[in-house]
Amino acid sequence: MRHQVCIIGGGPSGLLLSLLLRRAGVDAVVLERRSRDYVLSRIRAGVLEQGLCDMLREAGIGSRMQAEGFVHDGTIITAHGTTVHIDFKKLTGKTVTIYGQTEVTRDLYEELDRIGAPVFHEAEDVAIHDADSDAPHVTFTHQGRSHRVDCDFIAGCDGFHGVSRNTIPKAVRREFENVYPFGWLGILAHTPPVADELVYSGHERGFALCSMRNANLSRHYLQVPLTGKAEDWSDDAFWAELRRRLPPHLAETLVTGPSIEKSIAPLRSFISEPMSWGRIYLAGDAAHIVPPTGAKGLNLAASDIHYLSKALIAHYAGDEGLLAAYSATALARVWKASRFSWSLTRMLHHFPAEGSFLARMQAAEVDYLAHSTAAQTALAENYVGLPY
Ligand code: FAD
Ligand code: DHB
């Protein structure tokens, strides 16, 4: 088969790219290793920046998000006895929207189905060939049959463990990594959220985050050691630990209930440069990972797709400039969002190997944040998302 663009990976990056290209008359195929049900069962991000919301609206799939998502004007940061309300709207004029990554993915699949855009699920043995030539191709197996896609470009949207990044020769690639000595244990429960806004809590026992999906569906996270497993945590143990890590007025109002999902994610910062080589262009987790503290993973995937879709569309209109600049343009935003995620992680987590000096630095930082509009504005500006 022949398509102008072969997209590897049917997560949010790959699906959004496919839709935006189609809208502009560029033909793309998506190859996804997993089943659709599997992709839709992965509970991940929940906070959408305005830039991503605007993209979904422009792509014609914003109506369910508009109806069911919750617009948040701010967030609560609490640590070392200080609680700060960061008013995004007042400080930046922008807001964020609470709408789960699974819902974004579902909306994308439904629209791609409706317009008849090809998505191969359970595509096995995906292999990239001749990515540095003018005639790249991709081979894969689907339902026992071998297929070959001839294309002009390959979009590597296959996440951190995909095949695309490793197609770029080691001699060309440079990787930057910081692995954190803990993970996040997340649960989803049919309980009301503890507050109207998200609560980020730094505590000497470890970080906690109270998030939500809707008025009766909450998503909470606890910093945990990487040595344990999610199954080791009973629901009661999770709720008891969360209560300990919240300020008393929030701990008192915490409503508990049985969890419907429980998993541990390790935390890492990772950036691979460059984000393009020959005819292959990386986007999203295939090129970079951020710790989840700033809610930036999905949003960075979206900004990459903003740049990449525009660049590919410009190419078919005869302009090569954006495609040539893609890696540098995307990386400039990636590094800034990675810096923000790293600094928020550093401010709010307990680092077991570091002593009381770091704890005092964290307390000083939160105290400064509480009393400086400039510091609050800097945090808000990064949280709502830097401009594309
Ligand atoms: P992915 O969503 O990883 O999609 C890549 C797709 O490629 C997958 O569907 C995969 O099956 C497919 N694929 C992989 N290899 C191949 C192959 N060889 N061939 C074909 N297809 C392949 N971000 C936040 O902001 N907040 C969070 O709370 C949060 N929690 C997370 C929890 C976990 C466990 C993980 C892994 C990530 C989390 N993230 C979170 C990050 C956020 O979900 C990602 O940044 C986002 O999913 C990136 O989208 P993507 O499409 O680039 O990659
Ligand atoms: C959620 C996840 C995050 O990493 C974050 O910073 C905020 C919210 C969530 O899953 O709701």
Specify the fold of 5-71+99-177+268-345.
FAD/NAD(P)-binding domain (3.50.50)
Give the CA distances from residue 302 to residues 19, 320, 388, in Å, rounded to whole numbers and listed in that order.
13, 21, 10
Is it the case that residue 126 has pLDDT exceeding 90? yes
Please name which ligand lies nearest the alpha carbon of 37: 1
Give the model's pLDDT for residue 38.
Answer: 95
**What DSSP line would sit under 237-258, residue for residue?**
HHHHHHHHTS-HHHHTT-----
Please, what is the angle between helix 373-384 and helix 321-348, to 10°? 130
Task: Using the mean position of ligand 2's atoms as its centre, give its distance from the Cα of residue 89 in Å.
Answer: 19
Mean pLDDT value across residues 69-91:
97
Is it the case that residue 303 has pLDDT exceeding 90? yes
Using a pLDDT cut of 70, give the percent of the chain over it: 100
The two tokens of residue 290 are 């951020």
Q: Is 229 a residue of the active site?
A: no
Q: Is 292 a residue of the active site?
A: yes
Mean pLDDT value across residues 157-180:
97
Give the number of other CB atoms < 10 A from CB of residue 232.
11
Task: Using the mean position of ligand 1's atoms as its centre, give its distance from the Cα of residue 157 in Å.
Answer: 9
Give the model's pLDDT for residue 282.
Answer: 98
Nearest to 249 by CA among 209, 195, 212, 207: 195
- Mean pLDDT (the chain, rounded): 97
Q: Is 296 a residue of the active site?
A: yes
pTM, two decimal places: 0.97
pLDDT band at 107 (very low <50, low <70, confident <90, very high): very high
Residue of 296, 315, 349, 350 marked catalytic: 296
Give the model's pLDDT for residue 355.
Answer: 84
Is it the case that residue 33 has pLDDT exceeding 90? yes
Using a pLDDT cut of 90, give the percent of the chain over it: 99
Q: Is 352 a residue of the active site?
A: no
Task: Using the mean position of ligand 1's atoms as its centre, give its distance from the Cα of residue 194 in Å.
Answer: 27
Q: Tell me which H or E stretch contains 332.
A: helix 321-348
pLDDT band at 346 (very low <50, low <70, confident <90, very high): very high
The two tokens of residue 17 are 């790219």
Contact residues for 141 (Cβ-Cβ < 8 A; gap 6+): 123, 124, 125, 147
Give the model's pLDDT for residue 351.
Answer: 95
* Residues 180-267+350-384, CATH architecture: 2-Layer Sandwich (3.30)
Q: Where are the domains of the chain?
A: 5-71+99-177+268-345, 180-267+350-384
Is it the case that residue 130 has pLDDT exceeding 90? yes
Q: Which residues line ligand 1 (CB under 6 A)?
A: 8-14, 31-34, 39, 44-45, 101, 123, 126, 157-159, 161-163, 265, 284-285, 292, 295-298, 301
